[in-house]
Structure 1
Amino acid sequence: MDTTQVFSAVSSLAALQWLVLIVAPKWKVTQWLIRFAVVPLLLAIVYSIYITGFFGIQGGGFGSIQEVRILFSNDNLLLAGWAHYLAFDLLIGFSIIKSAQDKSVSHWLVIPCLLLTFMFGPCGYLLYQMIQKIKSQR
């Protein structure tokens, strides 16, 4: 599989996981996927495979924005970075779902948080923290 196909596959897999988080958070299958972090684990495997190219990139690294730009100019490392984002955003989504269910936060309030986390990671987490703080003060 080339990087374009893998990109499409991991993006579709993550989108499907987000869909079940949003539409059916209490479904047994969704709860199982969350409990065992199946999709983030699969994304971690993809990440681990594609990050191996990091060591061969001349001038690339994490010490400056220019070094990071060099890393992401390589499709294998760009795909690794994408899998990294997808996995960690999902883990944040799982955390939001678990917390909301434990604290009886309405899923209608959680949906915008999940959508934001899916699209803009930390923004969704921030929104959920604000909702949770407001709810706990009541």
Structure 2
Amino acid sequence: MWTALFAAANLLALAGWILLIFLPRRPVALAAVLYLGTGLLSAVYAVLLVLLATGLAGGGPDLAALDGWSLQSIRALFASDAALVLGWIHYLAFDLFVGLWIARDADAKRFSRLAQAPVLAATFLAGPLGLFAWLAIRERRARASGRWQ
């Protein structure tokens, strides 16, 4: 079950990234990335979190074994496939949301799609790296426009 859910979440996220990077950014495409991509991944995450925290989903982490926020405690938390899938869906949802924000922000600041592609690819592959790159790249145009949005 966890392997199938992992694969399905990856395909859903990949579809969102393909829409963002390669296809025209029409309102319906952006809404699809937001609601069918990020929203659906977030909903699956929320349901899984509740099921695992309440013990209703088998194979979950042993929450009673947590002794705080030590490295060993977090390692133990992610020792189960269920917790790994939950954590991975968390990454997929947030990285896709950040990619959507970058794409919308870049369009608003009139960056070409060619200039956006490497930043979006970096966000897809290594979320915070792509976000950091975008924050550095957008700085000059954000100041020039007189707003920090």
Give the structure 2 partner of residue 42 of structure 1.
Answer: 40
Q: Pairwise CA RMSD of aligned residues?
A: 2.0
- The answer to whether 1:79 aligns with 2:78 is no
Which 4+ residue blocks in structure 1 deviate beyond 3 angstroms? 134-138
For residue 39 of structure 1, what is the amino acid of its counterpart? G
Task: State the SS of the aligned residue for 1:37.
Answer: helix
Report 1:1-138 matches (<5 A): 2-34=1-33, 36-52=34-50, 53-54=52-53, 57=62, 58-60=64-66, 63-136=69-142
Query: What's the CA shift for 1:48?
Result: 1.8
Please report the TM-score for the alignment, with normalisation by the length of structure 2: 0.81
Query: What's the CA shift for 1:28?
Result: 4.1
Please report the TM-score for the alignment, with normalisation by the length of structure 1: 0.87
For residues 61 and 50 of structure 1, the distance between their equivalents in structure 2, rounded to whole angstroms, comes to 22
The verdict on how the C-alpha distance between 1:93 and 1:63 changes in structure 2, with shifts beyond 3 A counting, is same
Identity of aligned residues (%): 32
Q: Which has more radius of gyration?
A: 2
Instruction: Tell me the alpha carbon deviations over residues 116-136 of structure 1, each in whole angstroms, 9 at most, x when there is no partner.
Output: 000100000111112112445
Q: Which runs of 5+ in 1 are unaligned?
A: none
The verdict on how the C-alpha distance between 1:69 and 1:84 changes in structure 2, with shifts beyond 3 A counting, is same
For residues 122 and 11 of structure 1, the distance between their equivalents in structure 2, rounded to whole angstroms, comes to 18
Query: Do the aligned partners of 2:21 and 2:120 also contact (CA within 8 Å) in 1?
Result: yes
For residues 29 and 102 of structure 1, the distance between their equivalents in structure 2, rounded to whole angstroms, comes to 17
The verdict on how the C-alpha distance between 1:51 and 1:61 changes in structure 2, with shifts beyond 3 A counting, is farther
Query: Do the aligned partners of 1:18 and 1:90 also contact (CA within 8 Å) in 2?
Result: yes
Moved more, 102-111 or 58-67: 58-67
For residues 54 and 97 of structure 1, the distance between their equivalents in structure 2, rounded to whole angstroms, comes to 34
Give the structure 1 partner of residue 59 of structure 2.
Answer: none
Query: Do the aligned partners of 1:61 and 1:71 also contact (CA within 8 Å) in 2?
Result: no
